[in-house]
Amino acid sequence: MAYNQAFNAYKKTGVQTASRGKLVVMLYDEAVKQLTFALSNFVNNKVPPKNIEKLNANILKSQEIITELMVSLDMTNGGSEIAKNLLSLYTYFNSELLDANINHNKDKISFVLSMMDELRGAWIQAEKTTSTPVADMQHSINISG
């Protein structure tokens, strides 16, 4: 039990100290994971009755993450055209996932998974090119005297 508490504290600290770009990547990571789990509920392109609840939970979690990505878009500052395009994509993804959840459509889940994974890769690249490596940061406190 103490291990779980320590691990949860570690994860919480990681989220609280992450850059905005890193947080977006973390959201994509979780969405990709949930959509992968959703696909694992299919057996021969059908969802057995025992897996319906799990499929629903995985898709709903993915939709919540996509909605979080939607509300985090900055529609006013520079790059608003990109934000508008992402908003359209996210809206489309949530619509496709809604239909996939209702009709147990594996292809739609696979499509959204593929697109989210591709966007995740783009965000990882953006994060790498815009973040400052720790070694290059100037220290604000000099403890050596």
Do 112 and 95 contact (CB within 8 A), yes or no? no
Return the pLDDT at 2: 64
pLDDT for the residue 143: 39
pLDDT for res 59: 98
DSSP, collapsed to helix, strand or coil, labels residue 104 as: coil
The pair of structure tokens assigned to 30 is 């979780």
Structure-block tokens of residue 54: 């799990």
- Per the CATH hierarchy, to which homologous superfamily does domain 19-128 belong? Flagellar protein FliS (1.20.120.340)
The pLDDT averaged over each successive group of 10 residues in the chain (145 residues) is: 54 56 94 98 96 98 97 84 94 98 98 97 89 45 40
Query: What is the pLDDT at residue 5?
Result: 58
Q: What is the pLDDT of residue 26?
A: 95
**Half-sphere CA count of 25, side-chain side, radius 13 A:** 16
CA distance 71 to 64: 11
Give me the pLDDT at residue 18, please.
61
CB 38 within 8 A of CB 62: yes
